[in-house]
Amino acid sequence: MIQVAGLLLAALGLVTQIVSGVPGFPPVPPGPIILVVAAAFVTFAPWRWAPIVGLAATVFLVVGLLVSLPTSGAAEQLADPGTFGPFAGTVLLMVGLLVALVAGAVATMTGFRRR
């Protein structure tokens, strides 16, 4: 459930950025949709491999964030807490992705451990 909380926190961070007017998002941004669908799958899927879906979604967004870091303005948003919406959204996104990444890796390893 910690992985789900991280996924939803990251989705909240993206929505916060969109609502606060951070430029560069498409009309229908896929990030929050991917994160919420992955969180729902991890929550409701009965299979032990379900956390892998959340982990894959997290890795996908982390790679996208790292690739776009020089051009996305995320570093500038973190450097300027005076613009509260973009700053808070970026912090929520990064903390959520970190939590989801670690919790997803632990949940995946735990789910496949031999008994």
pTM of the entire predicted model: 0.90
Domains of the chain, by residue range, sit at 2-20+32-111
Residue 115, token pair as written in the block: 């008994």
Phi-psi region of 26 (alpha: psi -120 to 50; beta: other; left: phi over 0): beta
DSSP 112: T
Burial 73-102 (b: 16+ CB within 10 A, else e): bbeebeeeeeeeebbbbbebbbebbebbbe
Q: Which residues contact 11 (CB under 8 A, 6 or more apart)?
A: 31, 32, 35, 36, 39, 96
Print pLDDT tens along the chain (115 aa). Answer: 899 999 999 999 999 999 998 888 888 999 999 999 999 999 999 888 899 999 999 999 999 888 887 777 777 877 878 888 889 999 999 999 999 999 999 999 988 775 5
